[in-house]
Structure formats: structure tokens, C-alpha cells
Amino acid sequence: MFELDNVLLSRLLTSLTLGFHIIFATIGVGVPLMISIAEFMGIKKKDPNYTLLARRWTRGFIILVAVGVVTGTAIGLQLSLLWPSFMQVAGNVISLPLFLETFAFFFEAIFLGAYLYTWDRFKNPIYHWLLSIPVVIGAGMSAFFITTVNAFMNTPQGFEFKDGALVNVEPLVAMFNPATPTKVFHVLSTAHLTSAAILAAITAFYIIRNKNSDYHKKALKLTVGSIFIFALLTAVAGDLSAKFLAHEQPEKLAVAEWHFETEEGADLILFGHLNEENEVENALRLPNALSFLATGDFNGKVVGLDQFPEDEIAPFWVHYMFDLMVLIGFYSLGVSLLYLIVAKIKKWNENNKLLLWLIFLNGPLAMLAIEFGWIYAEVGRQPWILRGYMKVAEGATTSPNVGWMLLLFILLYTVLGIGVITVLRKLFKNNPAESELERHYPDFKTEGEER
Amino acid sequence: MAYELIGITVLWIFLYGYLIVASIDFGAGFFAYYAKITKKNHLINKLISRYLSPVWEVTNVFFVFFFVGLVGFFPDSAYYFGQTLLVPGSIAIVLIAIRGSFYAFENYGSKQSSVYLFLYGATGLLIPASLSTALTISEGGFIEETSEGVHLLTGALLKSPYSWSVVFLAIVSVLYISSAFLSFYAHRADDRGALDLVRKYALFWSSPTIIASLTTFIAMSQHNQEHFNRMMELWWVFGLSVGFFMIAIFLIYQGKYYGWAFIAVMFQFLTAFFGYGASHLPYLLYPYVTLSEGVVNDAMGLALVIAFIAGLFLLIPSLVLLMRMFLFDADYVKGKK
């Protein structure tokens, strides 16, 4: 493996860290809101089931956050270690949101610490719930700031290159670049969707295992309802993102859609494969659908790859990443809608095995969609690290030993991955929700009978 | 306006903040492990975990702040440090990652194991050692710039007495700062057994700290004469530092004003750290990056300063809240909450 060049090794190591970090980052952004909603419902409905839900989610969450924090630190440092030339430019133009992200995270960390250790400290539980608000805001702001940096890499602006020097830098213009609105919307909606999906999957799994108490049923209703709302938002965000790409970064949309010729009334190609002449075979074609997706008009003109030099086009396999991401998004929407319909109709049982399995599957699938989406977002930008200004190959470190570092980090993430799974299993296996409910809220049963 | 001066001051304050809070954390890890193998863990481990649990994440952020700020205010230094620190930097990341996540695994997950305590103790000493490399190479002499780019001269780094004296200083300072803080915390918690133990640690680690400081001075005079001379011009700052050191040790030895003793320790390091920092200028990375040439453009400098001030308005009240809840709430410290 040490014959590989530095650029490829640096890319591999960066993808490894990002691919691992994004799992925890996504949960870190999305789960606080779910916890906050559950705790609030517990207070409003005076129902300890929801409060316990918030408590148990928090307990699992904090472990995942810890891994998110350390891998986030890793990627923060690795950017400078592996892409020093890129970070030299980035430092000059886009360091404002990087800096602000640290503040947002600091803010979140402080209140998360406070939230975690004060469950029974206030007479009025609403004060404890109030501590969750800054955590939710901090998580959202972190996601916002860091996403603007990624948006900047796609549509850089707010500076000029003159004689090899950066001049006329406008930090806010760089931060609020054309890619920012859709990208932030897409990142936030999918993080919430995926977090709800993971929590729903865990709940569904418990019910399949015959843990059919009120606690689990209420948890399922709350999480699947949330999936539906966030899946709808994600669909809107996805649509806006496609329209943004068609307008500002057409080569990225075109490569994902295998759209070679600029034309009006373009077909949408689903899956299939390319033969040696780059012709699409065995694909599902939706007539005029790409034009509609890109422009909102079935006969709209969509720019194809013919408008771009061959060495500025990303690898064609991102097409599959794109299709899988979209497919899973619709799966989430469909499954959650199905559950809500079945739950509405009194005669039907929304907790039947098949539906539960579908909801369970949705959890890992949603996380895969996050991975596919980010692979598409990053590989689809190739060969650029800063579109139009700097290619990935120009940004990489020239120092030796990147290969060894790659091995070191593979080892690290394996250890962390195994650690997380073991600890989470231990944490909940010997401590079922029912017995915890009795321990924390012994009066609840009698209250329930009086009602 | 001189953004370079504002920038470096802000960054240096953050690095100082990290030095203090991280030292407390790192040293506590070592003491927890040491107490375990000498069968005294029942005395102090509860105390340590009550302090560390709510604040460990905050510690990490100080560090992130520093290096993100460095990239922002001084992008050129990001290039030089990034090119040269791949190996020590990666090792530091791995250690920080293991420490942070295993801390959470054990603390929020399951009961204590000795493997965990060992990792926790060992990483606490290795992290400062690997991070101190960045300060060492900033003195120059360990980097070579060729047509292919900038490279670290690993051999020179490993053979340099200066480099090793910095590592030694980093490790003993960690233990000294941490034990001084834990004495204060144990005193507040009215925990006599723990106090006796950590007070002994504080007195024990004080002399290696002052010896390592002197050794580093001497090694510096050999390694970078210019910097050494600038340090000598600021001799009174380092003199103050020694004065604070003596006050701290006297107070801890007297066994009364542990709070004031820890404040004296903080001032001891504040003066030494800023004396070192001020004499380091005008170079950020000798001789490649200077303060005035390496600074970011004015527009970004202004934006960062505004962001920083706005951020402080948000953070300081939040930090005060956290400290009142966990550090200065006597009932919490005593374990009643």
C-alpha cells in the first residue's frame, strides 16, 4: 500500500475519518431535539414514560457524543495535517465559520454537561428542560457553520486571486455562498430524519423482542411521527438541492444523473450501467423527469457533461450513491406514512411484525443514506478541493508516513467502534425500561389507577 | 489596527486556558491510576470523577479553539505546522480520542476496569508530551524547506536536549498543576483523607517542576540563543513566576489557603507562559513565519475579532453557570447532589 501516492492516501485517510465521524455527528445534531421533545411531552402530559424516554436516550446519546467530539477534533486537526496548502487558503477566506463552529460547540458542551447532571436537581422540572434548549441550538449552529465551509468548497466566492495572492476577502460573502442555503437545509433535515430513524429502529427492535409496554409504544409513535415530518422536509430540501446544482454546479448534477448531452426534456436515469462507449444500459428511464427535477419544468434545459472538459468530471460511479440516497429517503417517507395510516385505522394493528421490521430496517438504511449522500457530495466535487481554484492534488501534504497514519487511524476507529457497541449493549441490556420506570417513579402506577 | 497582536493574544490566552484545565484533567488521570496500584483509590477516585465528569468536554474545546484560531489568524503557520506535525499530531489525536471516548465509556457506561484506568493514566502523560512537540519545533532547527515542501527533521528532534527538556517540563507541570488543584477541591469537599494524599503529591511534584523549568532555560540557551536573550530581557516576568511558585508551595505546606495556593499556581504559569510567548515574538515559527507577515488579511482579522467578542458574551455567562453548578456549589462538591 505504500506505493500509493500521498494524494490518494490523504484522501483515503480523510474519507475514513469523515465517514466515521459523520455517523456520530449526525446523531449529535439530531438527537438533542428528540430528547427535548420527549422531556417536554413528559412534563406537559405528566407522563413519566416520556421523561424516562428522554433520560434513556440521553444516556446513550452522551456516549455517542463523546465519540463525535473526539473524531471531530481528529478531523479538525487532520485537515491541517493532510491538506496544509488548502488550509492555508481556507484560513484566509473561510476561517470565520470554522471559528464560530467552535463557539457553537463550546456552548453546546457546557450545557450538555449541565443537562446531564441535573435531572433531579430542580423542584420545577421545566428548568431542567430549559437546559436542553441551548444544547439543541448549539447542535444546530455547529451543523450550520461547518456546512457553510463545505458549501464554500463547492461554490467558492468572496475573494480574488491576484498574482498568486488572495485579495479583497469578504468573509461573510464567502460564508453565505450560493450552496449554503440548500446544503444547510439538507444537512439539518437529514440529520433529524436519521436520528429519529435510529431511535425508532431501536424501539421497533424492542417491541419485536416482545417488550410490548406502553413505554415502547409511545416511543414508537413519537419517533415514527418525527420521521414522517423530517422525511417530508428532506424531500423538499433534496428537491431544492437538485435545482441549486442544476443552476450553480451543473456538472455535479449531470455526473450523478449520467446526463451527457445538454438537452431540453431530459430523462431521469435510475441505476443501470455504462458500457464502454459511456452509453447507459439496463436503466429505468423516467421521461422528462430530470428536467422537472432540475428546473421545475418538464421541458426545461439541463446542462450535460458535454459542456465540461473531461479532466474536470467526477467519477461516474457517484450515480449509484445518488440513486441509493434518494431511494432510501423515499423509503423513510413511505414506511413512516404507512405506520401513521395503520395507526389511524382502529381495526388495524400498527405494531404488527412486518411493519416493525420495516421500521427497524429504516434505521441502518437512513445512516447509510447519510454516508452515500456525503460520498456523493465529496466525490461529486472531484477533481476540485475548491471548485474552479484548487484541485485536490494541489492541496495534499508532501510529508512522508501518510500510509502509516492511515493504518493507525484504521486501528483507532476499529477500537472506538467496538467500544461504542459493547458499552451501549451493556448499558441497556441489564437495565430494561420497565424496571427503571418503577425505580424512578414508584408512585406512577397508583396515579394511573386513579385516573 | 494590529490584528496580529490581538490574534496572538487571544490564541495565547486560549492555549494558557488549555494548559491549566487540561493539566488538571491529565494529572488527575495519572493520580487515579497511581492510587489504584498503590491501593489508595478509595481515597481520591470519587473526588476526581465528581470534578471531571461535567467538564471533560469543555477541556477539549479549549484545544480545538486554539488550533482553529491559529488557522484563522495565521494561515501560513497552519501550512508549516501542518506539513511538519503529521506524525506527532496524529499520535496526539489518537491519544486524545482514546482518552476522551474511553472516559465516556467507563463513566457513563459500565463499572471501572484497570485497563481503562491504565489508558487514562498513560494518555494523560503522553498527550502533553506529544503536543509539546509543536512548541519545540517552533524554535527552529527541526524543519527543512526544500523544493518539495517543508519537512520535519525527526532525527534532530529526537536527539535534541531542548526537545526532551520540554517534554520533561510538560509532564511534571501537569502533575504539579493537577495536584495543586485537587488539593483545593478536596479541601472544599471537606475530604480529609483525599486532601492528605493529594497535598503530598503537590509538594512532591513542586521540586521537579522548578528543576525542569531551569533545565529548559539552559537547553534554550544552547538551542536558540536569540530567543534566550529575549527571555533574559524579560527576566522580571520569570522572576515573578518563581515568586508565585514560592507563595503556592508555602500556602500548600501551611495547609490552609488552598484556593489562594491554586491561584498562585495559575499565576506562576501565567507569567512564565506569557514571558515565554512574548519573547518568542516576532517569530511564530523560527525563522519561517513571523507575526506580522504570517497574519491573515484585515477583513478576516476583523471578522474573527468580532466573532470572538460576540462569542465571549455567550460563553462567559455559560461558563459561570457551569462553574456555579459544579465547581463552587459546595453541596455538589461534597457529593450531596
Distance from the A121 Cα atom to the nearest Cα atom in chain B, whole angstroms? 7
Partners of B91 on chain A (C-beta within 8 Å) are: 408
Mean pLDDT of B210-236: 84
Task: State ipTM.
Answer: 0.83
- A257-282, pLDDT tens digit by residue? 888 888 887 888 888 888 877 777 78
pLDDT bucket at A449, cuts 50 / 70 / 90: very low
Mean pLDDT of B48-60: 69
pLDDT bucket at B51, cuts 50 / 70 / 90: low
> With a CB-CB cutoff of 8 Å, which residues 276-315 of chain B face chain A?
296-297, 299-300, 303-304, 307-308, 311, 314-315
The closest CB to that of B300, out of A69, A88, A95, belongs to: A95
pLDDT recorded at residue A141: 93
The most confident of the ranges A112-126, A174-188, A435-449 is A174-188
**Is residue A353 in some structural domain?**
yes
pLDDT recorded at residue B113: 67
Closest chain A residue to the Cα of B86, Cα to Cα: A81
Mean pLDDT of B118-136: 85
Partners of A397 on chain B (C-beta within 8 Å) are: 82-83, 86, 149
- B255-268, pLDDT tens digit by residue? 888 889 888 888 99
Is A373 in contact with A321 (CB distance < 8 Å)? Answer: yes
Is the CB of residue B94 less than 8 Å away from at least one CB of chain A? yes
- B284-321, pLDDT tens digit by residue? 878 888 888 778 888 888 888 888 888 888 888 887 88
Helix, strand, or coil (residue A288): coil
> With a CB-CB cutoff of 8 Å, which residues 234-273 of chain B face chain A?
none
- A333-367, pLDDT tens digit by residue? 999 998 888 888 877 777 788 888 999 999 999 99
pLDDT recorded at residue A20: 94
The closest CB to that of B67, out of A76, A90, A110, belongs to: A76
The closest CB to that of B57, out of A69, A100, A419, belongs to: A69
Partners of A93 on chain B (C-beta within 8 Å) are: 300
- A113-170, pLDDT tens digit by residue? 788 878 877 788 888 888 899 999 999 999 999 999 999 999 998 888 887 778 888 8
Mean pLDDT of B82-99: 87
Q: Is the pLDDT of residue A432 over 50?
A: yes
pLDDT bucket at B322, cuts 50 / 70 / 90: confident
The closest CB to that of A166, out of B58, B63, B297, belongs to: B297
pLDDT bucket at A185, cuts 50 / 70 / 90: very high
**Is residue A266 in some structural domain?**
yes
pLDDT bucket at A443, cuts 50 / 70 / 90: low
pLDDT recorded at residue A448: 36
Helix, strand, or coil (residue A383): coil
pLDDT recorded at residue A139: 92
> With a CB-CB cutoff of 8 Å, which residues 95-134 of chain B face chain A?
96-98, 100-105, 108-110
Contact call for A399 and B78, based on CB within 8 A: no
Is the CB of residue B14 less than 8 Å away from at least one CB of chain A? no
pLDDT recorded at residue A97: 92
Mean pLDDT of chain A: 86
Percent of chain B with pLDDT over 70: 91
Number of domains in chain B: 1
pLDDT bucket at B147, cuts 50 / 70 / 90: confident
**Is residue A441 in some structural domain?**
no
In DSSP terms, B285 is beta-bridged to B289
Question: Which residue in the block uniquely carries the three cell numbers 425505580?
Answer: A439
**Is residue A280 in some structural domain?**
yes
Suggest the residue from A7, A57, A80, A426 to mutate for an interface test with chain B (most B CBs closer than 10 A): A80
Q: For residues B107 and B103, what is the distance between their CA atoms, to the nearest angstrom?
A: 6
- Between A329 and B188, the higher pLDDT residue: A329
- A85-97, pLDDT tens digit by residue? 888 888 888 889 9
pLDDT bucket at A332, cuts 50 / 70 / 90: very high
- A410-421, pLDDT tens digit by residue? 999 998 998 888
- Between A350 and A98, the higher pLDDT residue: A98
Long-range contact pairs involving A347-354 (C-beta distance under 8 Å, separation at least 24): A350/A220, A351/A207, A351/A212, A351/A217, A351/A220, A353/A208
**Is residue A190 in some structural domain?**
no
Number of domains in chain A: 1
Per the structure, the complete domain to which residue B111 belongs is given by 3-333
Q: Where are the alpha helices (DSSP H) in A155-213?
A: 171-175, 180-208
Suggest the residue from A102, A127, A409, A421 to mutate for an interface test with chain B (most B CBs closer than 10 A): A102
Partners of A398 on chain B (C-beta within 8 Å) are: 83, 148-149, 151
- A43-75, pLDDT tens digit by residue? 888 888 888 888 889 888 988 888 888 898 899
> With a CB-CB cutoff of 8 Å, which residues 137-196 of chain B face chain A?
148-152
Is B185 in contact with B48 (CB distance < 8 Å)? Answer: no
Partners of B71 on chain A (C-beta within 8 Å) are: 80, 87, 90-91, 95, 98
Partners of B63 on chain A (C-beta within 8 Å) are: 73
Partners of B300 on chain A (C-beta within 8 Å) are: 92-93, 95-96, 169, 171
Per the structure, the complete domain to which residue A366 belongs is given by 196-384
Interchain CB contacts (distance < 8 Å): A and B: 227
